[in-house]
Each structure stands twice: as C-alpha cells, then as structure tokens.
Chains A and B, each alone.
Chain A
Amino acid sequence: MRSATSPLTIATPRTLDDALSMLRDTPLVPIAGATDLYVGLNFGTLASQHFMDLTRIDALRGIDVRDETLVIGAGTTFTALMQSVTVQTRLPMLVQASSQVGGVQIQNRGTLGGNIANGSPAGDSLPVLAASDAILVLRSASDERRVPFTSFYTGYRTSVLRADELIVAVEVPSVVGTQWFRKVGTRAAQAISKLVIAAVRSDAPRIAIGSVAATTIRLPRTEAALASGASIDDAVNTLEAEITPIDDVRSSADYRRQVAGNLLRRFWADTA
C-alpha cells in the first residue's frame, strides 16, 4: 500500500433501509467488491476516508424477470451474471462482457453496480447496459427514481447519482434483435479495454461503445444511418465523427478510431 488504511472507517449496514439512512446522514463512499478501492486510494484518485460496505445487504443481490424486464440487483457479481441461465438467455452480451472482466478473482468480487458507480469509460459491462436501454434504479431514504443508463453519466467519472443515493438495481427491458459484443483489451485476459462495443441488430440498431470518449456512449447518428439503410461505409464515417478517442498509455486515438469502424463493419456482417 502507498497510503495508510488505519484511519479509514467502514459502516456495515445489514439492510437497505439502514444503508440509505446512513447515507442520508453522513457522506460515505459505498463499496461492494472493492476491486477499484485500493487502486483509487493508492493513486490518489479516491480521497474519501469513510466507506460503507454493501456486501451484507441481500436485497442488492439477485436476478429476476418482472413483466418481461430483467431486473439485476446492483450487488450481483460478474460470476453470478455469467452463471445465470436467465442472463444467458435474455442478455447474452452481458455474459460475454462479464467473462472478460479481470480474472476469475475479480469476477467473483466485482459487481454490476460497482462497475456503473465507478464510472470508468472503459468499464466492460457498460456498453451492454447502454445498448440494451437499461434503466438504473436509484434509491435514497426519501425517494426512488429511475434513470436511463444513457442519461446517467454527466462527464468523465461523474454522474447524476446523489451522495445520498444508491444504485439498487438495473432493469433491462426485453432486447429485440441480435446481440453482439466485442472487447479489445491490452491482452487476451486480465485486461483493460482499449475499446469495448455492445450492439443490437434490429430495425432500430443500437450501438454503444466504451473507451472512445469521456463516458461510455451510444452512437445515435450512426444508429440512425444504419436504420435508414445507409451503406456501411457511410455508417463508419458517421461513427468516426461521433467518437472522440484519445491517446493514452494503453492505445492511440488513431487505433481506436480505425478499430471502432472495423468492428462496426464486423458487427453488421456478423448479424446480417
């Protein structure tokens, strides 16, 4: 460790109500799988001293279908997502994404809600949520609201989530069409995305992409081009104008732009 852990505190609520009351009264950073916690502390990107453990709250776990909507508890681990027959059937692209998060140890601990709250533009599950028009259920001690995933982020690692709110569940309406997912990482496993795409082929194609902008984004203009029957070349041109990749230690803007276009073609060919 590069930073001291003994001054840090952690509250351990057993119920969701307790957790929400604590959040109402005190600023606490919720943690679940904690897979990004110490990295954030070590590199100074996480300044908080006070945390709240969500892993004791059963209500945050579970996978269910209600009125044709897939409801996933925010505390569901990637391993649980991969093992769920319901998810395998309804949202296979989420299984694919989950299987490419870190290694087995990270999949065993990391949660869907944590991936969302952490807000990295490279988050592996996030394009799936964007492409599937997922709704996030945010709850505080006083109210509950539903926010479309695509409206959740306001910028690089910032979101509409209030300090007194928790992401309690993700609701995924039935996805019509063929699901497609591809992660391009820095190596074959245990990798951070250089680019990650989830897409759905239907009359109204949906394409979401990570690591090419400050947040995971949908590509409405590219989608519209494809929906209107534009050529794939035109759609690729539109995509290139719609993303804003950067150079970083993992890849280059040129690479991300070129590969994003190539993968759009691949998606379109694979799902034809």
Chain B
Amino acid sequence: MRFTLNDNPVDVSAPPMKRLLDVLREECGLTGTKEGCGEGECGACTVLVDGIAVVSCLVPFAQVDGSSVKTIEGLGDNHALQHHFMNEAGAQCGICTPGMIMVASTLPTDASLEEIRVALAGNLCRCTGYEAIYRAIQKANEQAAQ
C-alpha cells in the first residue's frame, strides 16, 4: 500500500483491515502515536489523514491507500506546540500529549478558548484538568500570530 507518511512516500505491506494505529506503530516503527482505549474515545491515537484529525485506532489501513498521513513524528522536534506543552506543563504523564498536539495543530491560530475546548473534546486527559493544555495551545498560537 502506498501512501505519504510525514511528507515522505512510503510503500507498506500490511493486512488491509489492520488498524492504522497498529500499522504506524508496528510496521512503520512510529510509536509516538499511542493507544489509550481502542474504541475512538480517548483521542490518544489521533493522527492527520489528508490534513484531517482522525483516531487511528478506528481507521482500516486500506482506507489510507494514496492518502497523506501525518503523525506526531511528522511535526519534528521544534514545533511551537511541543515547546509550549513542555514549558506550560501541558504534558504531565505525556501519553495523551501526541494526540492533543495533533488536534491542536489543526486549529487556526486565532482560535478562542471555547473553540479550543470544543476541538479537544475528543481527547481525554486524566492528569491536567486540561487547563495547562489550553495555556500551552494559547501560548503557541500567540507565538504563531506574531
């Protein structure tokens, strides 16, 4: 199956109904995408498919044939969201962080707090009460707007 993974064309052989999450972690060695529930409820496994946030635990591999997939690794290690998740302690245990950042990366930089809250409603965090996550995203947006 050919698709674009983090801006690079790849050809990966895996069963067509294998979950995209498992393909990324097992066949592609990208373990930044985490499994929290396996039922699309927690958002930890969020990646972007053709720019749209999806939970990779609910995507059959066959459906990304020809698509562009972006994972947390595709943001590199110098993204404003990453820095502010660190600095604002938006990451505590860190297991929800990649999914949170992937959703946040789809938001406009002028997103209001309410828009951020609605966008993240499909991402569960048990550590932060979400407040530090909002702060991190708002700081990153402020930086991007400058």
Contact = CB atoms under 8 A, between A and B. Distances in A.
Chain A in direct contact with chain B (Cβ < 8 angstroms): yes
A34 interface: yes
Contacts of A103: 43, 120-123
A34 B54 CA distance: 11
A123 to B, nearest CB: 15
Contacts, number: 88
A105 B16 contact: no
Contact of A106 (B16, B22, B55): B55
Interface stretch (B2-10, B60-68, B74-82, B135-143): B60-68
Contact of A42 (B22, B38, B65): B38
Contact of B46 (A1, A33, A102, A105): A105
B137 to A, nearest CB: 14
A263 to B, nearest CB: 23
Given A104-B119, A108-B53, A109-B54, A10 B43 contact: no
B15 A35 contact: no
A37 interface: yes
Q: Among A35, A37, A104, A189, which residue has the most Cβ atoms of chain B within 10 A?
A: A104
Interface residues of A, number: 29
A55 interface: yes
Interface in B28-47: 38-41, 43, 46
A268 B53 CA distance: 38
Nearest to B60: A34
Contact of A38 (B38, B65, B103): B38
A10 B103 contact: no
B102 to A, nearest CB: 9
Contacts of B15: 5-6, 8
Interface string A68-99: 00000000000100000000000000000000
Given A6-B18, A10-B17, A190-B41, A38 B58 contact: yes
Contacts of B18: 5-6
Contacts of A31: 60
Contacts of B43: 103, 105
Given A5-B15, A34-B63, A53-B60, A105 B38 contact: no
B17 A105 contact: no
B144 interface: no
A51 B16 CA distance: 10
B59 interface: yes
Q: Among B43, B119, B124, which residue has the most Cβ atoms of chain A within 10 A?
A: B43
Interface of A: 1, 5-6, 8-10, 12, 31, 33-35, 37-39, 42, 51, 53, 55, 79, 102-106, 108-109, 188-190
29 contacts: A1-B22, A5-B18, A5-B19, A8-B15, A8-B17, A10-B16, A10-B60, A12-B65, A31-B60, A34-B58, A34-B60, A35-B40, A37-B58, A38-B39, A38-B58, A53-B62, A102-B40, A103-B120, A103-B121, A103-B122, A104-B53, A104-B122, A105-B46, A105-B55, A105-B103, A106-B58, A109-B58, A188-B121, A190-B124
Interface of B: 15-19, 22, 38-41, 43, 46, 52-55, 57-60, 62-63, 65, 103, 118-124
